[in-house]
C-alpha cells in the first residue's frame, strides 16, 4: 500500500507506522493485569498504557497493539502465560492501521458501517469488530475528538483506503 496521507475539509486519513500486534486468548480466571499490562474485562473496551492499547475482542480474546516494534513484548507475555491455558499469536504483519480524524470522521465511518457511532453509544476507549463497506475491520475510537483507528487485513487495506477516499470526497459534494 502506498503511503497514505489524505486531507479534505474535515477529514484526515493516514496510516500508523509499524505497530506490534499480538493476539491473546486466555482461559478464566482472567486477571485485571497480565505481565503488568491492563486487560479490559468489559466487552468492547480498550485499556491503554502509554503507547500500548489492549482491545477486548471476545470473552477470552484481546488484541494488544503497541506503536513501534517493541520486540520484548511477546517474550514478556509468553513468560506471563507460561503456566496458564493461553495462546499468543504475533499478528504484526497481518493488519494495517488506518487513522481517521477530523470533524467529519464519524460521518465518513457511518457511510459504510452499521454501528451507532453517536458519542452516547460509542466513545473514546471503545472498540468493536464490524464491517466497513463489507470489509471486516476492528474499529478503535482513539480520542474525544473524532479520532478513530481501523485495523484491517493487509489484503483489504488498499481497497478500503480507496473506498474511504471516495466516500470522503462524496461527503464534500
Q: Domain-by-domain residue ranges, the chain?
A: 5-16+94-172, 19-90
Cβ-count burial of 126 within 10 angstroms (0-12 exposed, 13-18 middle, 19+ buried)?
buried
Can you give the pLDDT at residue 173? 72
Can you give the pLDDT at residue 71? 79
Can you give the pLDDT at residue 92? 92
Give the mean pLDDT per block of 10 residues along the chain (173 residues): 78 93 95 95 96 96 92 93 95 95 96 95 97 97 92 96 94 79
CATH number of 19-90: 3.30.70.1520
Can you give the pLDDT at residue 171? 86
Residue 21 and residue 151 in contact, taking contact as beta carbons nearer than 8 Å: yes
In the structure grid, which three cell numbers stand for residue 76, read together? Answer: 514478556
**What is the number of other CB atoms lying within 10 angstroms of the CB of residue 5?**
9
Task: Say whether domain 5-16+94-172 belongs to CATH 3.30.1360.120.
Answer: yes
Can you give the pLDDT at residue 32? 95
Q: How far apart are CA 169 and CA 54, in angstroms?
A: 32
In the structure grid, which three cell numbers stand for residue 161, read together? Answer: 483506503
Can you give the pLDDT at residue 5? 85
In the structure grid, which three cell numbers stand for residue 155, read together? Answer: 489484503
What DSSP designation does 113 have? B
Q: Do domains 5-16+94-172 and 19-90 have the same CATH topology?
A: no
Amino acid at each position: 500500500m502506498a503511503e497514505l496521507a489524505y486531507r479534505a475539509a474535515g477529514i484526515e486519513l493516514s496510516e500508523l507506522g509499524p505497530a506490534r500486534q499480538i493476539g491473546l486468548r486466555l482461559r478464566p480466571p482472567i486477571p485485571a493485569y497480565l505481565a503488568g499490562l491492563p486487560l479490559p474485562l468489559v466487552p468492547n473496551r480498550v485499556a491503554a498504557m502509554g503507547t500500548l492499547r489492549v482491545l477486548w475482542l471476545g470473552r477470552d480474546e484481546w488484541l494488544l497493539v503497541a506503536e513501534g516494534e517493541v520486540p520484548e513484548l511477546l517474550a514478556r507475555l509468553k513468560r506471563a502465560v507460561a503456566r496458564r491455558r493461553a495462546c499468543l499469536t504475533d499478528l504484526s504483519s497481518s493488519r494495517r492501521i488506518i487513522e481517521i480524524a477530523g470533524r467529519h470522521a464519524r460521518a465518513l465511518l457511518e457511510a459504510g458501517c452499521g454501528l451507532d457511532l453517536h458519542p452516547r453509544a460509542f466513545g473514546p476507549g471503545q472498540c468493536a469488530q464490524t464491517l466497513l463497506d463489507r470489509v471486516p475491520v476492528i474499529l478503535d475510537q482513539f480520542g474525544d475528538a473524532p479520532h478513530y483507528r481501523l485495523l484491517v487485513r493487509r489484503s483489504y487495506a488498499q481497497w478500503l483506503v480507496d473506498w474511504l477516499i471516495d466516500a470522503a470526497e462524496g461527503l464534500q459534494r
